[in-house]
Every structure is written in structure tokens, then in C-alpha cells.
Structure 1
Amino acid sequence: MHTDGASNSQGANIGVILEAPSGLKIEEAIRLEQFATNNEAEYEALIYGLELARDIGIKRLSVRGDSQLMIEQAAGNFDTKAPYLASLLQKVTDLRSHFHQFELVQVSREQNQKADALAKLASAGECTRKSSISTSQSPKVLEVFSTSSEPECWMDPIIRYLSTSELPTHPKDAKHLRLRAQRYSIIRGTIYRKSFDGPYLWCLRPLEAKKLLEEIHEGACGNHTGGRSLAHKALTVGYYWPYMMTEACNYAKKCDKCQRFAPTIHQPAQTLHSIIAPWPFAKWGMDVVGELPKAVGGKRYALVATDYFTKWVVAEAYVTVSKTDTTTFIGKHIICQFGIPWEIVVDNGTPFQNAKVRELCDTYKIKLSFASVTYPQGNGQAEASNKVIFFQH
């Protein structure tokens, strides 16, 4: 048993850890009702631990504490002059008679860190579970919290089977447990789930899983991530419990800050529109832009093509746009650079409505579609966008 007491401006608190040779632990964090000195808190921790050990039937006990005064007084090496400590020492002496084998050992603070952490946990108000073990001889105890009194969960039958080969009485349940236990392994008293493509996963109980989700979601490094990402992070850091995805999604949905500050869509719903271009560079719109201000070489017109999917624009300036210029433009700027398209949309202008352009499209199996300037999804839209992009260029 490891015990420790602490006293501060918020009150006195004690921490007690009972550990069996098999590895089973009972951890208690206790907040005292009234103020006490550090020495009184150390004695209160020892008294409560002895009462706890007596009530659950322990007969051989080794007590470890970091208070030299308490250990030496209980061993009879130091005199107890303070009246309030003498009464506490008498309680310790009475409780020692219930054990067949008993020893008190002083350890350093480094060796008693867990009990010290439990005492600090009680003062911080972070305990959330009351102990199932009550002691009538400890009137000073206001609240008792335990971290190991959690009811039986999903991993306990697996642990018993892997440790002692214990199986349920029903044959169907026993067969299901044997098959399920093949995925787990116990290493140094801790159960892990076997992983085929990574390290073993540390199995968590429900309370531990809840604390882990809280730390990842809104802890010091948390960013209030969504449920799927929350479960993925818990899995990648090496933890596992059943229904991880469901519990992570439910936890994220119940987060108060996520509900208050999550971005919401305020735009009204609209009818969905079909995609007119199924993939990039499959459908092009072409048109002639001009007459533009005269450039070098007397060029006053531009032949422009726009991809319907990516809105990518290609253009080239000409003095006049002929049918030969159109076929050369399609072969040089579209077919050679982006591959053979599925469809080209043009208007009924002379540079496009001619036999040479039709022959080129028939040769490469390109669908040549004609649209009026005012057609919403046709060449008129491509012409307007092309003019704006070309003049910006």
C-alpha cells in the first residue's frame, strides 16, 4: 500500500493505492471535510488505507510512505508529543492488530509519485467516481473517489480467459469468447489488441476511453476535430476499444463549443444542376474575339478556346481567322497539348461551319456541336468569359 497526504489553501487531501501481487489495483483520492496539517493528512491517509485493507480482508500488508515523521512514530522510534497526533497514532496501532503480517517502509518522494498524484487530483476537483467501499470509522471524509472501482466491462472476460482459461457456462458464449480472445494478448499485466499492420493497441476501459477522447478533442493540443478524425487519432496513437467510431462521433456531437461556434451554412437550398463536362479537357468552347485594337503585324482578331471543366483558356492572335487557322488551332493548342477532346462547341460562324473543320472532327471522332450566341450553356457563355480573360491577359 502506498499512501500520501497533502494540505493547501483549498483543504486537506489524501491518496491511497492498494496493489495485489496479481497486479490488481485500488486507487482512492479523498477530499477531507476540514482543514488539517500535512502531518495530520499523512496519518489520515494511513488510517484510511488500513481501514480499507481490513474491510476487504487483507491479512499481509506492506505500507510505503514518504513521511519520515509518521513512519518513525508508528514504528516507535520517535516520540509523539502533540496530542492531536497521539490520537491518530493510537488508531494506527489499533488497526495494525488486524493483520497477521505488517510492515512500514519509508520511501522517497520519487517512489511515491502515484499516491501523491491522487492526493493532488482530489484537491483539483477532477475526480468523478465515488468509491464503492465506505468506512464508518472515518468521519472526516467528505468525498471518496476511486479510479479502479469501475464495473465489469468488455475486456474482463477476455482477461480471465487469457489468464486462467475461465469460460462462460453457456457453450455458445464460450465459443464466442475463445474466438474473440485470439485477437488479444496480455503483456506485463496489460491487455493489448493484436494489429496486423502496426504495433499492438492498448485496450481501454470505458472511463479511460472517455478521458482519452476528451483530451484529444479539447485538451491542451485539441482542436475540436470531428468524430471520424477523433477516432482515427485515437487509433493511430495506439489505443483501442469497441465502437470507437460511434463513441467518437457521439462525443463530438455533444461538445458544447462545437455546437456554439461550428460554421453553419446560411444559404437557402437550391436545385442541383447537372455537370455539363464530366472530366477535364473533354469539352471545349471556341469563338472568335474581335475586332481588337491593331497589334504588331496587323493582328486584330483572337481565336479563343475555354475548357468547360477547368475553365482553362488558350488563345492566339490572327490578322483574320480562316478555316485553315481554325483547324491548325485545334490541332496545335487542343489535341497536341491536352489530347483528343470529346466535344467542341462553336457557333455558326464561317471559321467553324466549313468542310475542313468537319473533316478534322470526323477524323479524330470529335463531336462538333453548334450553338447560338444566346444559348445559356453554349458558345455565347464561352465567348463572354473568353473576352474577359483575354483582355485581362
Structure 2
Amino acid sequence: MEAQIPIYFVSRTLKVPEERYSPIEKLVLSLVYTARKLRRYFQAHEVQVLTDKPLQRILMKLEIYGRLAKWAIELGEYSIEYKPRTAFKGQVIADFLTEAPTSEIEEVPPRETPEGSEKVPSPGDTEVKHLKDQNEPVLNLHTDGASNEDGSGAGLILVSPEGTEFMYAIRLSFASTNNEAEYEALLAGLRVAQKMSVKRIQAHVDSLLVSNQVNGDYEANDHKMIEYLKKTKELLQGFQEAKVIHIPRGQNKKADALSKLAYVAFDHLAKEVRVDTIEQPSILKRTIGNVETSGYSWMTPIIRYLQEGIVPEGKQEARRLRIKALQYEMINDALYRKSYLGPSLKCIDYEEAEYIIREIHEGICGMHMGAKMVAARAMRASYYWPAMFQSALREIRKCDSFQIYAPVTRKPKLNPVPVSSSWPFRKWGIDIVGPFPEGSGKAKFLVVAIDYFSKWVEAKPLATITGNRSKSLCGRTLCVASEYPTPL
């Protein structure tokens, strides 16, 4: 008995505000509503979404905000795989069979041919044979590069077999000659065509030097031209059929205008024109050092389990690994940690983690921040490794600038205890002021005493200043003013 597979159809009428959503937002809303309706199936199984729209690229962007960000967080709970929609040929045949059942189609008997004569092919056989012999459609590429004292730019126009034009304006952020800009434009167009999975291409350039060098009519002598020619031939080998054709400049006006507008400003371009910037030349050689690694890291057991189902021999270790692997997934042969509040985090080993910590802490834009902030910024950059805070703390302690200029805590380790008794600080300060005009009792001097702690003031007038009288007077007055003997 064959298994019965349920099929669910989910429909919903858009509300008035939802009708004003963009097409991409409506598409994501339909996926969110389906996930809410079939929540148990989405949680229990891996879901494949067939679509011809870039949903995955939009939902994985860090720059999204608003309702798209909220929906991306909600969909991040499930294991959803986005795949491109296959061809519509099978669906066309299914629709045709539905409209015209086989019972209503009359079979046409084959035509009989006389004996000894050749079989005359029918028009249908001729058309089928023609379709089989038909090659892949040809994509036409028009490129042009321009360079002067104001800057360098490249213009691309890709024309599909149906006549649809895709225009690109590319700014070159490095100094280049006019021939180098022509090669950069051709290389950029070939890279775009490869991403479009084009098999046959015809590149139209208005530079006679570039076309003749690629076709072998001219010989490249300059070392840069040799590198550009080598790079161009490498890209041309990726197509089943590729031709580079020279055309007059008058037939390449659109690409020429795009190349000149690219290095001036992108603001003047229409919305249909795609803009981009090339920071470095295509022939720039990057020196890559050999990094010796052991090949085994904390990710190895998880990757082996997810790809091959290999578990440790111990029962407890195997159970622990199975539970731990639920938090991870494989995307393009790379290990990622699932995140419910954002995009998946790429897992890296400890050597790469040390480099990332140093770049965040003391790199070009480093602020010598603390371990918590470094770990948080690494996660916002979609990186993950175990014990992020502890490893960041170890690396930060090696930074001399952070240790020298770090804020020093002035707070005492223990709370200060208040002293209620003023006895240790009871002292008097005595001074003699005068002479003043004579007053009653011929007094013209003044002896003043001030308590250091309570700021209490005592004063006595004197007619003459003698040691014995000052001592007796001050002793009598200060003993009466204070409860205990007080040093002077």
C-alpha cells in the first residue's frame, strides 16, 4: 500500500495596509503566514522553499529593519532551505493534460510509404530535430572603459537573447590607463556572465588593441597587458563558446556613456543601472602565507557528525554530541551556529578568533574596548567560537596600550568607617591680635583661640602681654570651654 502524503493549501486575503507592501514584503509575509499555520511541520522537518526571488539574501542582510527584520527573526527559528525554482516545462505539460485529457485526444495513424521509397519526414519530426540541434542562446556583451585625470570607470551592457538589457556602471578606485580600463571592463562583464550561468557569449569592444590581443592578432609586450590578457583568456575558457568582436565607437555609445558617468557620480544614473566599485586591479597578485594547522579543532566532531553521522565510542559522549549538534548546521560545507535572534553565526577556530579579537580591539578602527564589548561585536559580525569572553579577556591582557591607558579604579576595596568621636583631633590654635585703641580696663590687645575640629572661637582682651597672664588666662578660659584637657 502506498503511503498517503498530505498536501496543505494555505490562503489569506491581504488587509488594506498590507496591499501597499512591496512585492518582496508580500512574498516574505506569505512565507511567515504559512510557517504560523504549519508551525509543527516547520519545527519537525527541514523545509525547502522553491522561489525565483532572492529571499535568502534579503533575510540574511544585517541592514534590514522594520517588518522585514521582525519576520527574519521569526523565520530564523526554523530550518529553511531556499532553492531556485526549476523550469516550467513540466508544469506546462501538466496544465495541458488537465485541459485536454488523453481520452479526448485522437491518435493519428502513421502515414504509409510505398515499398522501396524513402520515408518522408513529417513537419513535427523536422521541428523536433531542429530543437535538438539548436544551441544555447547567445548573450551579447558591450563593454567600454574610460580613464582620464578625473578618474577611471567602466560601462557594461548585457543583452539577453530576448532583448532585455542589463546595464552596469563600475567605478575604478585605482589609477589606470585607458587600455587597462578597457580590460577591466571586459573582465567585469565576463565575471557577471559567469554568475548568470551563460554558456555562449559574444563580447563587443571598441578597443582595437584589446580585441586583437585576445584574438591573437597582436602580441602583448607590456607586463601589465600580458597579465590582463592571461586573466581574460582564463575567464573565456569557462564558456562553451566565447567571441571578442571589435565594433566602432559609434555603435557602443551606451557603454561609453556609462563608463564616463561612473567615475563622475552615481547620482546621475537611472535606477535601472546597477552600480559597483572595483577597489583593486584584477591582476593584483596577493601573497598568501602558508598557515600550518593541525586540522583538528573544536568543530571537527560536530562536522563529522553532521556530514557523516560519526559519533564517539562512549555512550555519554555520543549523547552529549548529539544534543550539542542540534545548535549547529552546515551551510556550503561550513559550520554555522543557529541563532534565533538574527542570522546564523559562522564558527571559526581559535587561531582565527585571536586575529578577529585583535582587529576589533586594536585594529584600524579599534577603540581598545573591554572583553564584553569585543565579544558582542564579534557576534554582531556573525562569528562564533566557544568561550568568547574568556578568550577575548586573555588577548586584551596582552595589549600594552590597554594596560597603560586603561581607567584606574580609585574606589577603596573596603568602605570607609566614620569616626564619631572628635577626641583625636581636639586642638586649639592661639594668636594675639593688636594693639587696638584702649578700651575699658586699658585693654588694647586680644588673645584669640580657635578649635581645629569644631571651629569654636574664644577671645579675651588684655591690657599688657605677659607670659604668665596669657597662660593663666588661656588655661582658665579653654578648660571651661572644653570638657577634657586639650593641647594647644
The interval holding the TM-score normalised by the smaller chain is 0.3 to 0.5
Q: Normalised by the size of structure 1, how large is the TM-score? A: 0.34
Normalising to structure 2: TM-score of the pair? 0.29
Q: Which has the larger radius of gyration?
A: 2
